[in-house]
Structure 1
C-alpha cells in the first residue's frame, strides 16, 4: 500500500527524518528518512 504524503501536514523535522501526520488517521504519524545518517567513523576525520 502506498500513502501519498504530498498534501500531508509536516509535523516536524529532525536530523535524519521528517515526520508527517498520517493523511487518513490524524492520530498517527509517518516518519520518513530524508537525510543519510552521518558516519561517526568518517565524521571525526573531516
Structure 2
C-alpha cells in the first residue's frame, strides 16, 4: 500500500503497517482521535 498526502508519498508498506502509522493517521484522520481513551482506529 502506498499512502499519498498533498501530492507526495507519505508512507509505504502493508495495510496493517499503514493502519498503525502515526503520520498516516494524522494526515487522514487528524490528531483529535489520539487523545480519546477507549476509541479504537480500525
TM bracket, shorter-chain basis = under 0.3
Length-normalised TM-score, structure 2: 0.24
Tell which structure's C-alpha radius of gyration is larger: 1
| TM-score normalised over the length of structure 1 | 0.23
Between structures 1 and 2, the one with greater strand share: 1
Q: Which has the higher helix share?
A: 2
